[in-house]
Amino acid sequence: MSAANKKDRFVIRFELGLLGMLSLTLVTGCIFLWMFIIGIWAGQTILQPAPGEGKSSLAEIAGALQPETTVVEPLVSSEPKKDPEPEQVPSSESEWAAAEPSFFALQVAAVPDQDRAQQEVAQWRERGYEAFLLPPEDKDDPFIRIYVGKFDKLAEANQLIAKLEKEEKIKAYIALLPASRLQAPPD
């Protein structure tokens, strides 16, 4: 009976020597490298479509992080003017940011006490920086945040961060703040 049981079992067996293991490793590495190269190519193709094609949503998001360029339109156009389209609700986060006025600022501190926050703002102003504070956004957040600067462009905020890290030896964080949250600071 034991001979009949051995015939019923189906067994696959692979045996590889050292050369076989090295060959299998090389082939697997080449496949992963090829997949990596194809992935980079596909990513760049999606983010940067051919000229004349519209931007993909990923390209719009990436473009929102880069400085904007202005396009000058001619004063006289040979095309008839179209009726303006009805106002649409922004669909992406970058469109919301463009819809509501906002600015960049550097968060330099967060403290739970109002008096301490006002002292921090006064210290930053004495050093010659434009400083302000914002109260917590919700009741679960105990921290009042202290910000320095008000910039329209991210590059300007990056320049001030480099200066603060070099001169003040402080780690600051860039925040995109809506202009509606900015309150007039007490003088």
173-178, strands of its sheet edge to edge: 131-134, 144-151, 102-111, 173-178
Domain 96-181 in CATH 3.30.70.1070? The answer is: yes
pTM (2 d.p.): 0.46
Is pLDDT of 1 > 60? no
Give the pLDDT confidence score for residue 79 in this predicted structure: 55
Question: Closest by alpha carbon to 131, among 147, 145, 144?
Answer: 147
The pLDDT tens digits of the residues spanning 72-130 come to: 454 454 555 554 454 454 555 555 555 678 888 989 998 888 899 999 999 999 988 89
Domain residue limits, the chain: 16-64, 96-181
Q: Where are the beta strands (DSSP E) in 36-101?
A: none
The pLDDT tens digits of the residues spanning 12-67 come to: 888 889 999 999 999 999 999 998 888 887 777 666 655 555 555 555 555 555 55
CA–CA dist 33, 26 (Å, integer) = 10
